[in-house]
A and B are shown apart, each in its own frame.
Chain A
């Protein structure tokens, strides 16, 4: 029997369709169908000037706009051959790690939603997210569409009081709340029965499907771009690459909790050494000159390797602009994970990959 899950279905995190071939309740095959949210991101990028793409990158993975900005800024800076000042680097890392916490919290929360724990866990997770978004709003002006990074720095310095808020969160509230979430969910028997051994992806399969991010690391491959190809100033910080070995939904959940703890660790170091100084090299320009050439900038986004490939021919806009979207590529492993499982689990498996349709479809 063939069942269509979606495109309009609360469990699919957006407009996304899964064509599931069933034998009784067992999944024989699964085909993801997407493109419902396609909005021509890459082609619009080729029409826009370099700077104008920045706000559009926010709209890829709208949960973690700061990381998206980061990757694009890196790609263009590499081509322009500029380096942001120290303070800007620290602020960037701070924002990227806060974004990772936000994204993982949302993912954990909604995973529980997919399991049927309707809205209580997710709202606990969203409380922390709201407080972090307050910080984003104060520095960048917007809660989700931050548009904060510029080539050679960030748009503006941290306003008064923001640093205190971050410190308060990082040192006081977040560790306590993450522990609470841990206590609340991790040993819950229902969660364990529903997730342990479900949606298994082995290390070989994960590599063969070029999965990245939490999906890859939960399968036992400690690959993190922050360590494998350190960008910005990540080589200065002490942190562990979280890794888990079973490759099932439960491990992906645990891995995200681990990563939040590591992010808090990085944030503590950032706050300790944050230097004074300018946040942008040179004068802010609305029309940057990017020399001809090509470059690839990649960051370890919350969902995996987020890469921007740009080709410039010296004109005010890119000749080619391509995004390697982690959600999109991780989604290819969905069929592998779901095959042989029960149809009731496919929603949870999808939730554990943590896709954002804005990024899948672009």
Chain B
């Protein structure tokens, strides 16, 4: 019969429409603006509405999520920032759009380079969030951030991040990427122990 296909099709939309209301009544207030509700609406067995009301609600990002890189520093005793970066320059070389700019520190007396960055800039409007810098940094000094709300009005004043703006403490890293952090710490410890074991044997 003519029109049967259309009616069958529209039945699908109608079911979706009704389901949303049924779900809303069933779940009550929990469904919107709560963590539980957001999770329920992002699972694969979701029924009814699928959308997240950004910015009131935020979609939880997975651990591997990557946005602009940040520089990891360890906090010293007097809260001074010990950047892990040694200004080796690998990240600047591997960066596809070439948006990292590093100035090495030199010893003012001897003129020899010191393995620490004097300045470190990333032009975040050029950065394409590829994550290669974090992947290939040999010192785990640069990592990808989860904070994606960095829009602002002024491109040159606000979107060229310097060392201060890029620096984030190690604890922050451990918090946003717990599994990566645990894996790296374990590897570091193993390496230190291996070094300690090698030393006495040599002497």
Contacts and interface: CB of A to CB of B under 8 A. Distances in A.
Interface of A: 48-49, 51-53, 55-56, 120, 124, 127, 130-131, 134, 137-142, 145, 147, 155-156, 159-160, 165, 168-169, 172-173, 180, 183-192, 284, 286-287
B66 A142 contact: yes
Given A145-B130, A184-B9, A192-B5, A286 B93 contact: yes
Interface in B63-101: 63-66, 90, 93-96
Contact of B44 (A55, A172, A184, A192): A172
Contacts of B130: 55, 145, 147
A181 to B, nearest CB: 9
A216 B151 CA distance: 44
B64 A286 contact: no
A189 B64 contact: no
B179 interface: yes
Nearest to A180: B12
Given A55-B130, A130-B50, A138-B62, A183 B9 contact: yes
B96 A55 contact: yes
Contact of B64 (A159, A169, A191): A159
B2 A189 contact: yes
B44 A141 contact: no
B154 interface: no
Given A134-B62, A140-B64, A172-B45, 8 more contacts: A52-B94, A131-B44, A138-B64, A141-B64, A160-B179, A183-B12, A284-B135, A286-B90
30 contacts: A49-B94, A52-B95, A55-B128, A120-B13, A124-B16, A127-B50, A137-B62, A137-B64, A138-B62, A138-B63, A140-B64, A141-B62, A141-B65, A141-B144, A142-B66, A145-B128, A145-B130, A160-B179, A168-B44, A169-B44, A173-B44, A180-B12, A183-B8, A183-B12, A184-B8, A186-B5, A187-B5, A188-B9, A284-B136, A286-B90
Interface of B: 2-6, 8-9, 12-13, 16, 42, 44-45, 50, 61-66, 90, 93-96, 128-132, 135-136, 144, 179
Given A137-B64, A139-B64, A52 B132 contact: yes
Among A160, A184, A186, A190, the most chain B Cβ lie within 10 Å of the Cβ of A184
Nearest to B144: A141
Closest A-B pairs by Cβ, 3 of them: A187-B5, A55-B130, A141-B66
Given A147-B131, A286-B90, A189 B62 contact: no
A120 B17 CA distance: 11
Contact of B61 (A130, A137, A173): A137
A189 B61 contact: no
A56 B128 CA distance: 9
Contact of B132 (A124, A140, A186, A286): A286
Nearest to B131: A141
B93 A188 contact: no
A159 B63 contact: yes
B4 A187 contact: yes
A92 to B, nearest CB: 17
Contacts of A51: 94, 132
B73 to A, nearest CB: 22
Contacts of B90: 286
A183 B63 CA distance: 37
A126 to B, nearest CB: 9
Contacts of A172: 44-45
A191 B63 CA distance: 43
Contacts of B136: 284, 286
